[in-house]
Structure 1
Amino acid sequence: MRKILFVLFGLCFLSTSAQFKRKNYKHIMESKSIYEIDAFLRDAHEDDPRRGILKKRVIKLMKEYIKNAHPADPRVKDFKDKIAILNKKASTKITFEEMSARIKKKKIEEYKAKLKARIQAGQQNQGFAQNQKPSIRYQGSVYRPGAPSNVRKNTAGTDQQSYVDTDVEQAATSVETVRSRQAKQRNIYARRGSRGSSSSEEEFNRLMSEQSIAKDQKTLEVLNKLFDNDPSSKDTIVLIENKSDCNIVVVMEKNNGEEFKLPIPANNENTIVIPKGDYILRSNVCGGTYSSEKTINKSLIIALNNPS
């Protein structure tokens, strides 16, 4: 029993000793080290009288370093950020809530920059920039014709092929990953002989000309609501990627008969802000008919490919 107590006492002593050495600020008042003083300000009690003196000292040291450092020195930006924090707070210690707020703000700024770029590019090219990719990252799998789990049997007895399109839901929030699919999927391409019609091309050109900055601004407002995780938002965003070689128009018909039409150039994408609810989506993709029933209650990404 004595041996066990002796071992436990020894371990506690070593642990306390190591912690003391690691956080020994006995001579901190003589220190001229930026990192040592910064560590003290993070660890010391908020009522420690040494805080006021050392806070002013570390700010002065960082300013001197910035003044004499090379502009490409990566520590320059870090020290500038720390000075800004110390001017508002007692230390550079960041809470989890503050870190989450930073991430959310950064993501919103990224979306604003993307949207601004799209608006500027759109003024030169009918609202779209060629080869522009969406900033939202998502995961999905492409369904191939002939796969047993993806092929619908043709009850009409014809030689038409049907297959499911790539369909991925993306929750637009800075700290959440892609959530599980909730949209009801019944997506079909029916292979047909024609490669499109002149009337659909005319409708595509007309809808493209109606693209406006006001619509893009509404998209930004909804993005902000999504980042704020506002459950009261009645609208949501649908992004459709057209990976086919044809210009298409996707018609989204709500269960109350209201229709929304979205033109998408070949090998490009477009977004639309629509009210949440049940929809029937349909389009002519290079002669193949696309049809899908979906319940859209949050942001959604749909990828349409060439019929094969």
Structure 2
Amino acid sequence: MKNLILLFSLLVLTACEIIPSNNPIYRTNPSSSANEKREYDLLMEKDKVNKLNVNAEVVTYLLNDTETEDKSTAIVIDNNSSCDLILRLVEIRTNQIYNLPVPKNSKNQFVIKKGNYTLKSNICAAKYYSQKYISEPLILALSNR
């Protein structure tokens, strides 16, 4: 029995592939956080344009029943982390891209097209990734805790 356990353990250890730390896919780029900060600042400037109308539209989506023929819906992102973030949404079928900035310890809201999305973000040092079908208003709370 001990030999069987030893053999199984050895098999498991040798079957695991270790990704080398010099693999470019997994290496972190020190300038990427500076680039993301610049992108965040630019997105926040663009977000301020016409924000009152967007807020009114989001509230309308949140308070009313979802109509199936409506092509858009609302998304509210609640950032409970101590870092500014950009939530990146890519609609899987059409590749429609939304880069949504959300200040630290704050909320931001947007109107997006309904669809099946890949969502990803860097929340401080943590990575967020999800796939969601969004067909009605969505409230998404993100945190690094």
- TM-score (norm. length: structure 1): 0.35
Query: 2:126 matched to 1:288?
Result: yes
Conserved in 1, the CA contact under 8 Å of 2:58 and 2:110?
no
Distance 1:222 1:302, change over 3 A: closer
Task: Point out where structure 2 has 5 or more consecutive residues left out of the alignment.
Answer: 1-15, 20-27
Which of these residues, 82, 94, 100, is aligned with residue 245 of structure 1?
82
| Alpha-carbon distance in 1 for matches of 2:47, 2:34 | 21
Mapping for residues 44-55 of structure 1, pairs under 5 Å: none
Distance 1:228 1:269, change over 3 A: closer
2:140 maps to a residue whose letter is: I
CA apart distance, 1:215 = 3.9
SS at match of 2:38: helix
2:80 maps to a residue whose letter is: K
Query: 2:89 matched to 1:263?
Result: no
Which of these residues, 225, 231, 249, is aligned with residue 68 of structure 2?
231
Which of these residues, 197, 201, 209, is aligned with residue 33 of structure 2?
197
Query: Which protein shows a greater Rg?
Result: 1
Kindly indicate which of the two structures has a greater share of residues assigned to helix. Answer: 1
CA-to-aligned-CA distance 1:26-83 (integer Å, 9 cap, x gap): xxxxxxxxxxxxxxxxxxxxxxxxxxxxxxxxxxxxxxxxxxxxxxxxxxxxxxxxxx
Q: 1:216 aligns to what? A: 52
| Alpha-carbon distance in 1 for matches of 2:136, 2:61 | 12
Distance 1:217 1:257, change over 3 A: same
SS at match of 1:282: strand
- Flag the structure with more relative contact order, 1 or 2, with Cα contacts below 8 A and sequence separation at least 6: 2
Computed over aligned residues only, the root mean square deviation of the Cα atoms, in angstroms, reads 2.4
Mapping for residues 81-160 of structure 1, pairs under 5 Å: none
Conserved in 2, the CA contact under 8 Å of 1:236 and 1:273?
yes
Consecutive aligned runs of 4 or more in structure 1 exceeding 6 Å deviation: 155-158
Q: 2:4 aligns to what? A: none
CA-to-aligned-CA distance 1:217-273 (integer Å, 9 cap, x gap): 134235335544233221111111111111111111111111001111111111111
CA apart distance, 1:212 = 2.9
1:279 maps to a residue whose letter is: Y
2:38 maps to a residue whose letter is: E
Q: 1:12 aligns to what? A: none
CA-to-aligned-CA distance 1:162-193 (integer Å, 9 cap, x gap): xxxxxxxxxxxxxxxxxxxxxxxxxxxxxx8x
Query: 2:42 matched to 1:206?
Result: yes
SS at match of 1:298: coil
Q: 2:9 aligns to what? A: none
Conserved in 1, the CA contact under 8 Å of 2:54 and 2:110?
no
Kindly indicate which of the two structures has a greater share of residues assigned to strand. Answer: 2
| Alpha-carbon distance in 2 for matches of 1:241, 1:156 | 38
Give the fraction of aligned pairs with identical amino acids, expressed as a percent: 31
